[in-house]
Amino acid sequence: MLCEKDLTGVWRLKDLFYLEDDGSTSEGPLGPRAAGLLIYHADGYMAASLMRTESLTGQGGSPQETYLGSADDYLGYSGRWHLRGEVVVHQVVIGSHQRVVNTEQVRDVRMHDGVLRLQRRLGGPHAYVVMDWRRI
């Protein structure tokens, strides 16, 4: 079982994808080359930032200008964190999207071969969103 010390530190996003109940995967919500940083401090504070690194494609295949902070480009929040059994709980204080402020973002958590996996069950067209992180 993981403890807080196992998660404390700075992590870089390795992969972000959707996972289905049958084990199949598909491109995640921020594209094939999403970038991100995740910080878990020993004092219980955390910050997470994820962004799309390539331009969105508009109709007809032409590049569409994107803006940092739009719902399609960036997600960030910070607040407090703690482990609760097999999940990590992010208590969001501030965020790039109002809908996450003052919420608990709960992620299944596990570590394998130095990769931290955070996974969240979705209620929409995909079963899970998965974020794999590698310690910096």
Closest alpha carbon to 91 in 80, 76, 106: 80
How many residues in the chain? 136
Residue 63, pLDDT > 60, answer no
Residue 29, pLDDT > 80, answer yes
What does the alpha-carbon distance between residue 42 and residue 110 come to, in Å, rounded to a whole number?
18
Closest alpha carbon to 81 in 118, 44, 107: 44
Q: pLDDT-derived band of residue 56, with 50, 70 and 90 as boundaries? A: low
Residue 68, pLDDT > 50, answer no
In the Cβ-directed half-sphere of 69, how many Cα atoms lie within 13 Å? Answer: 3
State what percent of residues in the chain have pLDDT above 70: 87
Lowest mean pLDDT among 17-21, 40-44, 48-52, 68-72: 68-72
Residue 19, pLDDT > 50, answer yes
Per-residue pLDDT reduced to its tens digit, 1-15: 899 999 999 999 999
* CATH 3.40.50.300 is the classification of domain 4-53+65-135: no
